[in-house]
Amino acid sequence: MEESENEEQLTESGSLQKSDIMNESPDSKYEIINDMMISMTLQDDTTLDHLIEEYYRREYLDHRLFTLQ
């Protein structure tokens, strides 16, 4: 909180970093979703497209290979 001439002003700061060292193959669909959210935040559409394709590929394979009976 900052104070200036009889006024209080609430301020907040944070940081977001992008690392070029990404896990080449995320282990779970939740890691893919997390990476998708990071890509959206950073407006990295190329990575986002790749992650969406990977997510749907894994979902398709999961449903084809593992069915409930």
Burial of residue 44 (CB within 10 Å: 0-12, 13-18, 19+) is middle
CB-based contact 33:56 (threshold 8 Å):
no
Nearest CA to 47 among 38, 55, 39? 39
pLDDT digit string (tens) for the chain, length 69 residues: 556 677 777 778 787 776 655 556 678 889 999 999 999 999 999 999 999 999 999 999 999 888 877
State pTM to two decimals. Answer: 0.59
CB-based contact 36:48 (threshold 8 Å):
yes
Residue 22: the pLDDT is 57
